[in-house]
Amino acid sequence: MMNFKAIGADKNTPLAPLKGGIDETHFAAPTIDFSIIIVNYNVREFLRQALLSLRKALVNVSAEIFVVDNASDDGSADLVRTQFPECTLIANQENLGFARANNLALKKARGSLLVLLNPDTIVQEDTFTTVRDFMGAHPATGMMSCKVLNPDGTLQLACRRSFPTPWVAFTKLTGLSTLFPHSRLFGRYNLTYLPEDETCEVEAISGSFMVVRRAALAQVGLLDEDFFMYGEDLDWCYRMRAAGWKIHYCPDTQIVHFKGESSRRSSFDSVRIFYQAMGLFVKKHFRPRMSMLAYALLHFAIWVRAAVALVRTALQTLALPLLDLTLMQASLGLAIWLRFESSEVWHSYLIVDLVYSVVWLTALALFGCYGKARFSAYQAVLATLTGFLVNASFTYFFKQYAFSRQVVLIAGGLNIVLLSAWRLGVKALSYLGVLKVAAASSHAMGGVRTLVVGDFTSDDALVERLKTNLQNNYELVGLVSLDPTQVGNSHAGLPVIAALEDLDKLLHAASGPRIQQVIFSTQRVPFDRIIGAMARSRSAGPRISFKLVPSHLDVIIGKASIDAIAEVPLVEIENRLQRYGPALGKRLFDLSLATFALLLLAPFFILRWLTVREFDSMTVTV
């Protein structure tokens, strides 16, 4: 076990009072190396994966793990209780926010080094030994972070940054930092002018992985609970530097952060809270030493940027519905022209247009065409057909719509073609590599071309499940084995085409199938090799999506998504129909189809009824 002095602080040195009511006597006597704190909110599967990676990384390290659950309703607390008994669970009855939840665990922590870790991360096996050695060699460092990667292997820029001083904020808000990332003058916000593999002193680091020396915490105090979410890590860094402690970025080890999952909420709410936090930070630290005009201008720039972000978020949310609506208007216009050879009667169809468009857009939403299945031509056809049946029934039940039957028939047919055609076009472009679409939602023609990495003496079950999965539609190109001697063999009907050591060459190969996605079985593949493969993939051309399958084989974890793995296709279909949206969509489709069939066959039934009645009356007469 590492003693307190070994990490750069004399345990006999008096400690300054700590904000937050910690018992100083207890606080001054650490008994273990690390206290790792994870604040969780409704990300159970990501949390499971993070804890599994910690279990491997802490084999030879004395540590404690706190999981602070902010009133999750997805079973996260039960997961920790039943599967990770080594963790200390703090189960809150309400969402206390990031700062307040972390402070609850910081007050109980016994480690020489305190680590704030997001639940949507995975760490390497060497992460904590590397951190311990670095902090031991740098006694003036009060806080540090390592290299933090996105799931596609790129550097997550927020893991090292500068304070948003007026000039730094100006370059960020105006986009100059994006236009000139390698400029020391303009690239200071995320320090993009510095090599990412170089250890350096920085002003701030990300709260996704933040290591704090115990003595520094005693001097600086706890996180500021005025920050609910966002900004508290930046504020902590600012106070740390003001107290004379150094902050370092050390790329000798790395983690992966599935950014955004630990703060899942509406996009609009997230944007609002983020910019509120930035405004609070500026008010707290810059207002006392800025002129009133400069402060007002900086605040104005923050809220202008917030407005731009909200508009961009709204446009991203509404882009696909607006595209579909535009195509619907084109279909209706063409249908009117084909019916009347003139567009002069368009004004007579304004109410009809409004009603029919709402019905079609609602059907598309219910069938997931603005969610995970947004590029599914099949779902678009089902949704459009459902909307057509509903709209067609209006022409029978409501006389004011009767004049539009032929127009509805033509427009409905055109919608089925156009709304599915553009989705097929996106798939084709994605398949050809012309257009980058997230693998989790592209459902490219034939499926997302996928490699599976694992130990296939025991991972055959994973391959079988992927082969029978309907919802995610993976095109399994081949297998990559931990054992080089397995190359050339087959498992579950798929060839082992490479060993893990040759994965980089396979991803960079100019010939052969272009790989879009790599799935790692984390039961067998070491996390350092998974993260290393992600980091080295960046030069493989179009970004590759990396996903993880935990040992329980129930889900596939990827960036901003968790895909369910079905035992057989029927199980997946059944699970989808248990959800409100798909169930309502199917019920609407069934009712619409039944209504339309009754209306279509009504003349036949009436004719048969009249014939039988006439025959019966003739029989009675005779």
Strand-strand pairing, 111-117 and 209-213: antiparallel
CA 222, distance to chain mean position in Å, is 29
pLDDT at 351: 79
Measured distance CA(357)–CA(108) in Å, rounded: 57
Start-end of CATH 3.90.550.10 domains in the chain: 23-161+202-281
At residue 563, the 3 state secondary structure works out as strand
Superfamily of domain 23-161+202-281: Spore Coat Polysaccharide Biosynthesis Protein SpsA; Chain A (3.90.550.10)
Q: Report the mean per-residue pLDDT for the chain.
A: 77
Q: Region 233-248: what's the mean pLDDT?
A: 93
**Dihedral of the CA atoms 254, 260, 263, 268 (nearest 10)?**
150
**What mean pLDDT comes out for the span 4-13?**
33
Residue whose tokens read 């909420």? 265
Higher pLDDT, 621 or 298: 298
What Å distances lie between residue 564 and 470, 514, 557, CA to CA?
10, 25, 9
Residue where the block lists tokens 């944007």 = 271
Q: What is the pLDDT of residues 488-530, one digit of tens each?
A: 888 877 888 888 888 888 887 766 667 878 888 877 788 888 8
Q: Which residue has the higher pLDDT, 373 or 249?
A: 249
Q: What is the 3-state secondary structure (H, E, C) of 116-165?
A: EECCCEEECCCHHHHHHHHHHHCCCEEEEEEEEECCCCCECHHHCECCCC
Residue 446: per-residue pLDDT:
47
What is the Cα Rg of the chain in Å? Answer: 30
Instruction: Out of 16-25, 94-103, 267-276, pick the least confident.
Output: 16-25
Least confident of 291-305, 395-409, 421-435: 395-409
The first and second tokens of residue 452, run together, are: 């599976």
Query: Contact, 529 vs 501, CB < 8 A?
Result: no
Place of tokens 């209706």: 332
Question: What's the token pair of residue 159?
Answer: 């893991």
- Structure-model confidence comparison of residues 208 and 7, the more confident one: 208
- How confident is the model over 334-351, as a mean pLDDT? 76
Residue 540 has pLDDT above 70, yes or no: no
Residue given tokens 């084999």 in the structure block = 59
Q: Which of 18-22, 27-31, 433-437, 531-535 has the highest mean pLDDT?
A: 531-535
pLDDT at residue 105 is higher than 90: yes
Q: What is the pLDDT of residue 620?
A: 43
pLDDT surpasses 80 at 585: no
441 pLDDT exceeds 50?
no
* Contact in structure between 205 and 233 (CB atoms under 8 Å): yes
The closest alpha carbon to 168, from 146, 157, 184, belongs to 184
Specify the domain boundaries for CATH 3.40.50.720 within the chain.
439-577
Cα(162)–Cα(188) distance, integer angstroms: 6
> Under CATH, domain 439-577 is a member of which superfamily?
NAD(P)-binding Rossmann-like Domain (3.40.50.720)
Mean pLDDT of 448-470: 72
Top-confidence residue, 98 or 555: 98
